[in-house]
Structure 1
């Protein structure tokens, strides 16, 4: 298998993994957004309050419930959603394109390979930023629901604790941790995409440089090889005739 076919096969595999990882970002985020009624839990602030709230439980007595002062900015969740959707679309399109190139034994042009490197590097930084923001936002929300880690349960266990909010918090930790792991995996895949795109650019550049030399070398070989296969001796230089 030639070098360009190995690179195409590796790129095709990375595109397929990128498609699957992007779906693992988009689907849990959509489920979490539906459970939270369109609100973003990332970077949300609040506190726990203990009071007698008969309307919450239908029974008398003191209960502890979460009071959300401010929900997180929607852009924090939308940024991760954008990276996931773009990864799904790009992985599907480029995966099919790589399969077509493998079947046709063809590769990108030099300019197309250069643009692929630039695009991969740009989305790599976007994906890394989205992963970092989501990790910080989830840590902030966990700090809120555990009351600064003073509650007798962890953030993972808190999703089974009633918050007495108007949203469904029964699976927020499962959804957001899956999104977090998938986003970091998407970032790693975009790093692999950038490396593979650079290797394909280098390979295309090497072929572009060596290709113009081949016709010239063929002409030189044909010029010094006669039809019988024996090398043609070089012609002696012409001796100038001196007229007296």
Structure 2
């Protein structure tokens, strides 16, 4: 069995499932490499319009694999070029939904934060416990967490290493929604299927503008939004969507 399995459960939707249950889906080099390879392939696949990433009912991913890190030296980490692997996920133009049951700790929490929407089970736990083993997050855990929940909540999580429960994560803005544990994957797939039925160019532009505009000055971000808005009027999908609305029929989007 592959350490990352790929499925096509719904029209336009790809599912990536972490498959290291014996290690609570810890993100070793093989898992990160497979995730990156799948993300690059799915980004280029025109039949895929949304991606769901999940683990199992006990763990989304319980962090990095410390067996690969305990004796590593700085040059070892430099040569591993893990930022290139993570970039394949961060730069994916397709919407990503994380379906989180159980633990999302360390690299697992960072992986969830690479998604665009996070659906969490009521029993899920999110945390960045790296400080407890003498290090700190290294795949966006400080910066993405800060931007998601603000300085004071992020500092508490990062400096204590204490995880937060799903409902608290939702209240602080780290989670999109919380559902019963047994409904997590189904809800994530339903959201992905809904997104997959939307006009792909509009979906792509929304994700791109939000990602690039988040850290830009407001005037620059608004200008980026206006240009993307105007560009969509050159698409066949815009003409189809508005015509279908006026004709009171279901639109047929092509991504053109």
Structure with the bigger percentage of helix: 1
Structure with the bigger percentage of strand: 2
**TM-score over 0.5 for the pair:** no
Quick check: which has more Rg, 1 or 2? 1
> Larger relative contact order (C-alpha < 8 A, sep ≥ 6)?
1
**TM bucket, shorter chain:** under 0.3
